[in-house]
Structure 1
Amino acid sequence: MAPKSNKDQQKFTKDQEAHAYREMLLIRRFEEKTGQMYGMGLIRGFCHLYIGQEAIVVGMGMATKDGDQMITGYRDHGHMLACGMDPKGVMAELTGRRGGLSKGKGGSMHMFSKEKHFYGGHGIVGSQVSLGTGIAFANYYRENGNVCLTYFGEGAANQGQVSESFNMAAVWKLPVVYVIENNRYAMGTEMSRSSAQTDFSKRGVSFGIPGEKVDGMDVRAVYAAGQKAIEHARSGQGPYILEMLSYRYRGHSMSDPAKYRTREEVDQVREERDPIEQSRRRLLERWKLSEDELKTIDSRVREIVNEAAEFATHDPEPDASELYTDILLQTP
């Protein structure tokens, strides 16, 4: 890992630490409940959990301003929660219910929120990079001062459309921050076996795009790097690449047994680098919160997640008429 300097980390206030802890914990508990509900057959289809990577989306979200957009791939539940989407609506979408954020028709990989400037959730590997670059072009064209955070994994970084997007973004100096969530294994292949250049922060060198490695398991480091990258893009200097060094604890999807790595490796990361435990220790030791205060936060987060699960299992399924709504029809 390559953590930011202590000076950058010290800028994190007590309130910011408490906020980040709560948001990361919400994502963790939500994803744990999602895994349980998937095992019970209440959630079907593809489902990719974000457990272990919570610091990335929370830290980046804290560095944005209202109006900035977000787009990502299929491991997207954490991104939705971090930008303020209703946990009930997210969980109801996972179970295919009427109250879901895409009316029960999008499922795990295809949720959107115009209100929260969240543009998906995309199932095609790397497709969101082109779309995020297009959103940034719209910002550039409209001169609205907004920045599009475009998230993708180190596996998707090898897609051809990613390089094409980098080139276009650099030519027009578009306000986009490319966040590469490097969790090391893509679908199951360790990155050194699939990538000639494993320093993904350098993927923009030939296009003149600056890049930076960040400890994606430390929310303070993510926040500091996010501030720098977003300001670079917002000020008209063009795109910026952040390689977030991270790790997912679960398999690529719910159907992945993850036999390509050892249990000892996963346990070591959990024990030494877990983003939530790091934040928890700082709240106890540096900011002098009590165990009871942290238990109160955890209790409230569990209530929110349980309420979301309850809603998502009792909300009605979409009416059959929904099959014919939100469809673009072309006439001769």
Structure 2
Amino acid sequence: MFDLHRLRLLRELKHRGTLAAVAAALSYAPSSVSQQLSQLEAEVGVPLLEPAGRRVRLTEQAEILVAHTEAVLERLERAEADIATSLSDLTGTLRVASFQTAALALVPTALGLLRDRHPQLRVHVTHMEPEKALPALLARDFDLVLAEEYPGNPNPRPSELEQEDLLDDPLRLALPHPADGQDTDGAMAALRSLAGHAWVMEPEGTAARHWAMTLCRNAGFEPDVRFETTDLLLHLRLVEQQHAAAFLPDLVWDGHSPTVTLRQLPRGQRARRISTVVRRGGSRHPAVLACRDALLHAVTLHSGRAEGGTPRTHFERGSAKP
């Protein structure tokens, strides 16, 4: 029988890409990881790694082993959920990753609910954009990730992950100057009117940047992107001080009144979808269920404070294990 620990190292190598990354993530020496994988090769009786420049890649037989390892780990994750369900209260640590606006507008309220209902549960929250957080979820660095999906830019959905929609968060055009009058010319005209202005957008390679660039190009212009950051509060500040135009989600206001002039976007581009994502097999864990319910309740409370995201499902009190 193959050694599960060594199989997990092989799986880590697939998800993290290098022996050094595996060693750093697991606090091992790279030589120790290499030695363990050599021993696994001896157990299996076939080569599992082959050179790829200065790195290594998995052989076909290694990929087969990783697929079976994923199935074993999923079953073990279900066993962990069953054990946790049998206990009288939630304990241990739940590791959550969230992007900025959800972390500011929803996560603190959810944390308060979890603290009141499950005081023995330790929740560790990391601010991380979905582009990095979702691969880290696959690598088992997190248990739950808050992710965003922009119109016309669906996220990849690996079969190893399960996604549950949380809310639709409206997106709006933020003008870098006071409004001249009513928005009578239409969404596309409002967007085109900013063709000559500076813009602030999220960095290249993010889903938000791809969506924003596509939207501007469909309006017939190439935006002059002078500022790049994932910090949407900085986006807002740059608009407030008339340095740049931006696309801002309603969650950025966190229930407060907007401080800049906003315009609607063209139809089909008016909301991003926010969801919670977990590994397949982990959705039954009572800590995950409790966190998802708390986030849904946070959405309900947020929607009650201001006109913003519309909940896609409703919080049901008592649906998490007490």
Bin of the TM-score, shorter chain as denominator length? under 0.3
TM-score (norm 2): 0.23
Structure 1 or 2: larger helix share? 1
TM-score (norm 1): 0.22
Structure 1 or 2: larger strand share? 2
Larger radius of gyration: 2
